[in-house]
């Protein structure tokens, strides 16, 4: 049953991600991306990563995509008009380049190329416990965890400075230091 569910979620994920890049209406693209993230959350659940699956929905579907929708509605974007030889040529090249990348990936997978061991370090119970994740996050990964909080702080300051714009000339017009960090 797990395999059947995986195939179902995978089909939904691929179809909705294709529609994200093919649909001309940005709002529809955003909604298909939400669907893609939700099916990905389903796949995470099948891999016994319950915490990550739920956080995927809370963070991506509940926060990030709402922000996307908010911006699309705020800018009142209509359907994209993509015509002309120049653009058609670029689309063609894009598809060719993408296919080449995929072919390369398939080639590598077919040769069973992989760095490091492919067998479990400790054969045992499947990973996926929220408690274990928390333990690891606050012991071995404590420093990166603190650094991410710094990243978020920098992002908040950067966004405030950028979004403030140039309306208040003289103060706050300079870009925030490290907004690209």
Residues 40 and 59 sit within 8 Å (Cβ to Cβ): no
- To another protein, the closest distance from the beta carbon of 178 in angstroms equals 11
- To another protein, the closest distance from the beta carbon of 51 in angstroms equals 6
Q: Residue 78 and residue 132: Cα distance in Å, rounded?
A: 46
Confirm or reject binding of residue 47 to another protein (CB under 8 A): yes
Confirm or reject binding of residue 42 to another protein (CB under 8 A): no
- To another protein, the closest distance from the beta carbon of 171 in angstroms equals 17
Nearer residue to another protein within complex by CB, 123 or 170: 123
Q: How many residues bind another protein (CB under 8 A)?
A: 104
Q: Residue 54 and residue 60: Cα distance in Å, rounded?
A: 10
Q: Residue 49 and residue 46: Cα distance in Å, rounded?
A: 7
Candidate residues 83, 85, 115, 154; the one interacting with another protein per rule CB under 8 A: 154
Q: Residue 56 and residue 44: Cα distance in Å, rounded?
A: 9
Residues 65 and 34 sit within 8 Å (Cβ to Cβ): yes
Q: Residue 181 and residue 167: Cα distance in Å, rounded?
A: 25
Q: Which regions of 35-107 does DSSP assign to beta strands (E)?
A: none
- To another protein, the closest distance from the beta carbon of 151 in angstroms equals 5
Candidate residues 1, 85, 143, 170; the one interacting with another protein per rule CB under 8 A: 1
- To another protein, the closest distance from the beta carbon of 141 in angstroms equals 5
- To another protein, the closest distance from the beta carbon of 177 in angstroms equals 13
Candidate residues 83, 115, 165, 170; the one interacting with another protein per rule CB under 8 A: 165
Subset of 86-145 contacting another protein (CB under 8 A) = 87, 90-91, 93-95, 97-99, 101-102, 105-106, 109, 117-130, 132-133, 136-137, 140-141, 144-145
Q: Residue 61 and residue 63: Cα distance in Å, rounded?
A: 6
Q: Residue 169 and residue 69: Cα distance in Å, rounded?
A: 30
Confirm or reject binding of residue 68 to another protein (CB under 8 A): yes
Residues 139 and 163 sit within 8 Å (Cβ to Cβ): no
């Amino acid at each position: 049953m797990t395999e059947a569910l995986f195939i179902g979620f995978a089909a939904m994920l691929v179809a909705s991600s294709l529609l994200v890049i093919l649909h001309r209406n940005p709002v529809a693209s955003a909604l298909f991306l939400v669907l893609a993230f939700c099916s990905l959350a389903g796949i995470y659940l099948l891999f016994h990563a319950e915490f990550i699956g739920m956080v995927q929905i809370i963070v991506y579907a509940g926060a990030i995509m709402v922000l996307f929708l908010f911006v699309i509605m705020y800018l009142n974007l209509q359907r994209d008009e993509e015509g002309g030889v120049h653009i058609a040529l670029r689309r063609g090249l894009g598809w060719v380049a993408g296919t080449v990348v995929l072919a390369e990936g398939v080639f590598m997978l077919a040769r069973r190329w992989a760095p490091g061991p492919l067998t479990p370090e400790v054969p045992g119970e499947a990973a996926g416990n929220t408690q274990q994740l928390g333990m690891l996050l606050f012991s071995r990964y404590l420093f990166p965890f603190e650094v991410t909080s710094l990243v978020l702080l920098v992002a908040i300051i950067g966004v405030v400075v950028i979004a403030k714009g140039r309306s208040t000339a003289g103060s706050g017009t300079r870009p925030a230091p490290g907004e690209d960090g």
